[in-house]
Structure 1
Amino acid sequence: MAREVRAFAITVLSLAALGIPAGLLWSALSPRPPYQLTEKASVLADPSTQTLIAADGWFATITGGLGLACGALAWFLSRRRQLPTLLGLCAGGVLGSFLTLWAGTTFTLGVTTIEASAAPGVTLVAGPLGLTAKGVLVSWPLLAVGLFGLLEGMHGYRESPMRRPYGIDPRAPADPYRIGDPPPAREGD
């Protein structure tokens, strides 16, 4: 039982540790939306801007890539304790996604200049980084668990006795009685 708990904890903590650098990478690569400063508050300068979607796309790309890498690595390293590792991939992927979101929105890296046209006298500033599609938070755990399950299914099929037709063992010698061959002579004949 202690080994299963340790495998789960190592998997969760490993994925969570990857969340901070992933968030910094997301912050460095994602564009910032332009905001217009008004007397009351800051307003999105261009409601049709694609930078909000680009931030979601970069988040999904970074965390999805990490999910695929973590799922494959976890499958190759966890041949004996698969269930705790699989549960750790799920929990660690969720925790890693939230840490990526936190680190990316807390620390500002990369280009923060604004490339938008504005009326004279209007001040534009770079807006905060955030997610508009919260569904991308599940890309890390979903792809990690999905690839782990796919690899295990392929391995299980390769080792399955159901794969061999009629229960024939491929290591058994060839059948001496093939259709069309005359039967061997018996001693009494």
Structure 2
Amino acid sequence: MTVPNTPAGSTPGPDPFAAPPHPSQQPSLPERTPLGPELRIGAIITAVGVLLGGVLGLLWLWLAPRIGYQVSGNRILYRDPEGEELIGAVGVFATLGLALGLVTALAAFLWTRARGGGIAVAVGLALGGLLGSLGGWQLGIRLGPTADLRAHALAVGDGGRFDGPLELSAHGALLVWPMTAMIALLALSATFGKREPDRPPYWAMPPQAPQPPQPPQSPQFPADRG
């Protein structure tokens, strides 16, 4: 039935007296991830990285080779002029950073695997690894021998020997930990990460019920205004 004074082919507007649609029939909006849990996870991972920086500093102090000096008269000489202690100290620091990067990435992945990870995990690993490397570097230097070679030489006297301070001659080693953690997290997420369930093939899907035939619509004629 056509509303009077309605041109043919036009669609009537919405009925203002119609009941609102049921909430179950309304399109659902995608749920937003709460910001609080994401920040908490990132802060925890960062804090763990900072704490492990102390472990890095102690291990570096214990394992890294040091330059040896000896006092001869009023001169301070190298015990081994061709030694490679500087390169060895950098290598030990980079190796420890590599190991800590792998450990922290694996632990963070296993902890957050059920929830699907998130950007907070990656940021926490990168920031925690960088801060841990900086903290371990400074801790190893401060706990090691003094950098004042003259004072140390006066303390041991003529003919005495002493070890020089720890030095990180290549500061790029500070990035080994965060970069290793990021690469390991990416590899773990791509290999063992949470995935959406695959859609079953078309032959395994249940058949759809046939749609009832629609009744033919009667043609609409313009209302007679006479």
TM-score (norm: length of structure 1): 0.71
Residue 177 of structure 1: aligned partner: none
Report the number of matched residues. 157
- Determine if the alignment matches structure 1 residue 8 to structure 2 residue 50: no
**49, 54, 62: which one aligns with 2:83:** 49
Residues 90, 54 of structure 1: alpha-carbon distance in 2 compared, 3 angstrom cutoff: same
CA distance in 1, matches of 2:182, 2:63: 26
CA distance in 1, matches of 2:48, 2:165: 28
- Residues 75 and 82 in structure 1, CA contact (< 8 A), matched pair in contact too: no
- Determine if the alignment matches structure 1 residue 91 to structure 2 residue 148: no
TM-score (norm: length of structure 2): 0.60
Structure 2: stretches of 5+ with no match in the other structure? 1-34, 146-157, 206-226
Query: 1:76-112 CA deviation, whole Å, 9 max, x = no partner?
Result: 1113242101100000000000011011111139xxx
SS at match of 1:129: coil
CA distance in 2, matches of 1:122, 1:129: 22
Residue 155 of structure 1: aligned partner: 192
Residue 224 of structure 2: aligned partner: none
Residues 172, 106 of structure 1: alpha-carbon distance in 2 compared, 3 angstrom cutoff: farther
Query: 1:109-143 CA deviation, whole Å, 9 max, x = no partner?
Result: 9xxxxxxxxxxx65442100111111111111011
**RMSD of aligned C-alpha atoms?**
2.9
CA displacement at 1:36 relative to structure 2: 4.5
Segment of structure 1 superposing worse, 44-53 or 100-109: 44-53
- Determine if the alignment matches structure 1 residue 68 to structure 2 residue 102: yes
CA distance in 1, matches of 2:75, 2:177: 35
SS at match of 1:53: helix
Segment of structure 1 superposing worse, 3-12 or 72-81: 72-81
Query: 1:26-65 CA deviation, whole Å, 9 max, x = no partner?
Result: 1011121023457888565544311111111111111110
Residue 210 of structure 2: aligned partner: none
CA distance in 2, matches of 1:131, 1:40: 28
Sequence identity percentage:
33
- Determine if the alignment matches structure 1 residue 127 to structure 2 residue 164: yes
Q: Which has the higher helix share?
A: 1
Partner amino acid for 2:182?
Answer: V
Residues 168, 64 of structure 1: alpha-carbon distance in 2 compared, 3 angstrom cutoff: same
Residues 43, 142 of structure 1: alpha-carbon distance in 2 compared, 3 angstrom cutoff: farther
